[in-house]
Structure 1
Amino acid sequence: MREGRGGPPVQSKHIGTLEQSFVIIECYNLKEKLSFDKKDMQLLFQMKQIVHDNINPFLGVCVDRPNELMVIWRYCFRGTLEDLLFPTNNETAPGAPGGIGASVASLTSEEGVTIRTRRNDSIDINFKSAFVRDIIKGLDFIHSSSIGYHGALTSSRCLIDSHWILKLSGFGTSRMLYKWRFNNTLSNGDRQFIQPLIPNNELHYYAPEFRTAIRAAVLRNKVEDLEFSNLDGQTYDMYAFGAILYEILYRRRIAETEDYSEGFVEFNGSNGLEALEDDVCIFSAAAEEHLPIFSEFPNEDNTDSTINGFVNERVHPDLVALMRKCFGKPEQRPDANMVRKITDATLKMPGSLVDNFLKNMEQYTNNLENLVREQTGKLEEEQQMVEQILLELLPKSVVDELRLGLRVEPQFYGSVTVMYSDIVGFTSLCSESAPMEVVDLLNGMFRAFDEAISRHQAFKVETIGDAYMVASGVPQQMDSHIKEIASVALLQRDFLCHYEIPHRPSQYLHCRWGFNSGSVFTGVVGITAPRYCVFGTTVTLAAKMENSGQPDKIQMTLRSYQLLSEQFPEFKCAPRGGVRIEGVGTLLTYWLEGLDNELLETARTDSGLQHVPIIPRAGTPPTPPPII
């Protein structure tokens, strides 16, 4: 709202942020500290609890400042219904956070295409139908809720979100504001210029009997007369709905109040406002005199017409009759449920609003083919990147099944080798290093580890911090899984012997490796972020082999040693002896020491590790840091 000539506004609206979400803040100036009685607290609680697709969430009130009340609502990206129906060239729509965006006369699609609505354009009947449907659905829900009625329904309180869903806002607060204005808690400008609580350009949404009741309450000085029953409030809402329906169907305002748009009424004791006790001014009596009496509607001759530059199609006679009832006597007005049935029968909309919106956009997309081609190329690039990332996270066979929409069934594998590796003293290293230094360190190490795996028939299951899990024999079964894991472990160890910590010259990483062979179960866990997981006691024992190992050494179970020595004797192993394993007991384990130098060099060449930058280690390797 604009600040008028006579003093600070009673209400101003701002856009702010609350918990990283945009909100609308309605600010009211106070004369004294505000206090909430039991009814106020109950109403605020009911407003907070109400949830519906066509109800804009009420977030709360703030009275931290002694002279200001802030009422906070959820922000809707596409502004208000009033902005859409009556665009002007000198206003900006809240199409972007902070009110920075296109003109009110422009709409922005989800694809970023800007649509300019000219004065000779008409809103599609499907938009009209959707907005009317959303209003009455929200109103019907409010009337059946504990709140009872809206109380201040206007087109400016019909907000449109980014999905073109209309949501009712501003419900419930009016009954408290009237009371606070009556007892002079709310400021109303100054003695020379009094700003009414109801803006002049919104007065036509309020039923005549409501305005009569307000005047009578002010004259009798009875604040309790400002409390309306739910039935009365609902009839007032249906009057306001009729006014909004009129504006939607005809794209014209019921009343033009530009002469009073600032909302300030001069108060000098001789202009007929002496009845306003203690400067109580809920609405302007002068503005009320300019409100029309509804008797005629455009297009009653069943022909199309042009009103204010907009071409209007013929309105269904049932809708005209509905508006007449809404503007009639209170006992003649239909309830929200009846209105919903009438509007559903007359405003039939095939498909969703989004479907129809896409069809209407065709006239604005002469250059769409080039845009689609360009965006399609980018999409294909993104899809390739996504697929490449998926292949890093999931086996190719699993990715293929997921792409086809198939369910990946859990699998049992009788003979698999699982290996774990872990950096020794990683916790201490992290505490003494900057975050980016730790990230660079892990990137360099894991890049080499991944390169080694890519040249062998093994699959990286997961990495958690510095822990690294590899499996062979899943999802593709093979007899040489023990050889693949042993080769990967030796290559990783060989790489770390030459990998200098980037931010600590002449210092090197030390790892523990442990693997075990046996049967496992595999499956894909999760929907949003699916993960390929390996389960079983084989996995648990492999982790314990790593945990009970020693720096720069590769430990294996007896089962793995038997497979490796029988099938691939070129690998050199040495017995460690009995090792006490927590939760298992004493196990006979073995060290994997290496293989012939010639075979090792061949394996390094095959794995591609020669392409990884290696800083040669000079002299004797340093003593490993303490195990944490």
Structure 2
Amino acid sequence: MKYLHGSDVKLHGRLKSTNCVVDGRFTCKITDYGLPRLYDAQNMYDETAPELLKDEKLRRKGTQKGDVYAFAIIASEIVLRGEPFSNTGYSPKAIISRIRRPPPLLRPSIPTSLCPYQVKSMIKECWDEEPERRLTFSQICDALSKVQKGKKTNIVDNMMKMLEEYSNHLEDIVKARTAELEVEKKKSQELLARMMPVEIAQRLQNGETVLPVCYDETTIYFSDICGFTSISAASTPFEVVDLLNDLYTLFDNIIDEYEVYKVETIGDAYMVSSGVPFKIGDRHAPEICMLAMDILSATGSFIMRHMPEVPMKIRIGLHSGPAVAGVVGLAMPRYCLFGDTINTASRMESNGLPSRIHISWSTRECLLKSDEGFQIQERGTVELKGKGVLTTYWLAGKEGYDSHGIKLDEYMNGNRPPPPKEPIKQKPFIPSKRKAVKKGWA
């Protein structure tokens, strides 16, 4: 009852001894609460406390003080081992009439010999004629604890106390376990959100079918490490993993500042898309190009921990065009991109040069339309597998671009600061711009 009064239910409204049941653990449980509409439809009201007998509106709703009065009557039944008012000698109608219209005040007579004086005093306070003077269930619990002095007289009573404590704390245990479950669920959701777009992940969790979507305006980024095969051959497996982890953690920190999506990494290959799955209008090409310049600048100061004397160089290829995105697989679903744009971007990377950003004719057209001062150099004709001979371009920089002390054009030409005598801790690379903010992009 103490818990019930502190919950959203607020009160019982029809508390009586027949609503008190004992379960298999010998724990008293309260039933038939939280049903005011059902009782109202059947004209079943609380007719226990004097104030409820006098006021029909209160009788319909019930009160917490009325529950306390009902508890006192139940306590008297336990002490007297009989029905309510069984020792008064009055009929039920006479009892109700005298309770409704005192004086004299009618209550069950409890001999002191049948219970401790403190218990009798508590019962009297609970059935006081004035509701405001009655105890609360918190005060009743404190009073009973003082009577028992925290001790039990026999093994059965001790067992009952342990079962009662277990029952009282069971809900706290459930809440704690539920909170732990929510934390673990949140971790799983965050991990899934890193593997694919949040909206896609939510649909999969809800058991919905994710249909493929066609995106007309996208730019795809591909990069890989030059000489990675030779580096791997001269390194232990742990050193290779540490190298990729250091480098791609650096890349991941940079892409967080842009409106792009990291599709996946395969070995030393790094793939990023812009315009997929977030549509940003004609900003997709400038966004990827700024990202590519920041990554290239960051790579210029990157030092391999186990090979500080070996320069780190990457090739970057960009291409713009339509692409299809969808989820593939059931056991290990992956968010994948398909289309000729992805193949061409991969060809642009493989046919590029170290420390260069190789862009296609379509990406160049998108940059010229943006009119943001990107510096583009014509490379000449290049034969791409499946495409034939095409004219491609180098992205050489951008007007006002700040690469934080790293001269991008010199790095592209192969210049690099001399390596340190001892491996040093990587300095965090600060991207050249703040994270892109959606401003009504389609």
TM-score class normalised by the smaller sequence? 0.5 to 0.7
User: In the alignment, residue 430 of structure 1 is paired with which amino acid?
Assistant: S
Partner deviation per Cα, 1:376-404 (whole Å, 9 max, x = no partner): 33322222222222221111221232233
Partners of 1:381 and 1:528 in 2: CA distance: 24
2:234 pairs with 1:432: yes
Corresponding residue for 2:202?
400
Partners of 1:368 and 1:542 in 2: CA distance: 59
Gaps of 5+ in 2: 1-162, 407-415, 421-442
Partners of 1:419 and 1:451 in 2: CA distance: 16
Asked if 2 retains the 8 angstrom alpha-carbon contact of 1:472 and 1:482, the reply is: yes
Asked if 2 retains the 8 angstrom alpha-carbon contact of 1:555 and 1:592, the reply is: yes
Asked if 2 retains the 8 angstrom alpha-carbon contact of 1:496 and 1:508, the reply is: no
User: In the alignment, residue 417 of structure 2 is paired with which amino acid?
Assistant: A
User: In the alignment, residue 383 of structure 1 is paired with which amino acid?
Assistant: K
Asked if 1 retains the 8 angstrom alpha-carbon contact of 2:294 and 2:403, the reply is: no
User: In the alignment, residue 396 of structure 2 is paired with which amino acid?
Assistant: E
Partner deviation per Cα, 1:562-605 (whole Å, 9 max, x = no partner): 11122134211101000011222111100111123x43348x9x
User: In the alignment, residue 398 of structure 1 is paired with which amino acid?
Assistant: I
Partners of 1:517 and 1:437 in 2: CA distance: 35
Corresponding residue for 2:329?
526
Aligned pairs (5 A) from 1:319-330: none
2:358 pairs with 1:559: no
Asked if 2 retains the 8 angstrom alpha-carbon contact of 1:418 and 1:471, the reply is: yes
2:257 pairs with 1:458: no
Aligned pairs (5 A) from 1:28-107: none
Partners of 1:491 and 1:586 in 2: CA distance: 30
Q: CA RMSD in A?
A: 2.7
Partners of 1:393 and 1:530 in 2: CA distance: 9
Alpha-carbon shift at residue 368 of structure 1 (Å): 5.0
Corresponding residue for 1:378?
180
Asked if 1 retains the 8 angstrom alpha-carbon contact of 2:318 and 2:349, the reply is: yes
Which of 269, 282, 285 is the equivalent residue of 1:482? 285
Aligned pairs (5 A) from 1:159-558: 368-478=170-280, 479-558=282-361
Which of 413, 417, 425 is the equivalent residue of 1:618? 417
With normalisation by structure 2, the TM-score equals: 0.52
Asked if 1 retains the 8 angstrom alpha-carbon contact of 2:309 and 2:419, the reply is: no
SS of the residue 1:485 aligns to: helix
Partners of 1:568 and 1:376 in 2: CA distance: 55
Partner deviation per Cα, 1:470-490 (whole Å, 9 max, x = no partner): 000011212200011101111
**Percent of aligned pairs with the same amino acid:** 38
Partner deviation per Cα, 1:540-578 (whole Å, 9 max, x = no partner): 000000011111111011011111122134211101000
SS of the residue 1:475 aligns to: coil
Asked if 1 retains the 8 angstrom alpha-carbon contact of 2:261 and 2:272, the reply is: yes
Alpha-carbon shift at residue 370 of structure 1 (Å): 4.8
Corresponding residue for 1:217?
none
Gaps of 5+ in 1: 1-361, 605-616, 622-628
User: In the alignment, residue 526 of structure 1 is paired with which amino acid?
Assistant: G
SS of the residue 1:503 aligns to: coil
Asked if 2 retains the 8 angstrom alpha-carbon contact of 1:456 and 1:484, the reply is: yes
Shift in alpha-carbon separation, 1:430–1:373, aligned structure 2, 3 A: farther
Q: Larger Cα Rg: Structure 1 or Structure 2? A: 2
Partners of 2:242 and 2:178 in 1: CA distance: 34
User: In the alignment, residue 392 of structure 2 is paired with which amino acid?
Assistant: T
Corresponding residue for 1:595?
398
Partner deviation per Cα, 1:122-141 (whole Å, 9 max, x = no partner): xxxxxxxxxxxxxxxxxxxx
Shift in alpha-carbon separation, 1:369–1:439, aligned structure 2, 3 A: farther
Partners of 1:373 and 1:586 in 2: CA distance: 67
Corresponding residue for 1:306?
none
Partners of 2:207 and 2:364 in 1: CA distance: 41
Asked if 2 retains the 8 angstrom alpha-carbon contact of 1:500 and 1:508, the reply is: yes
Paired residues, what number? 248
User: In the alignment, residue 586 of structure 1 is paired with which amino acid?
Assistant: V
Alpha-carbon shift at residue 512 of structure 1 (Å): 0.5
Corresponding residue for 2:106?
none
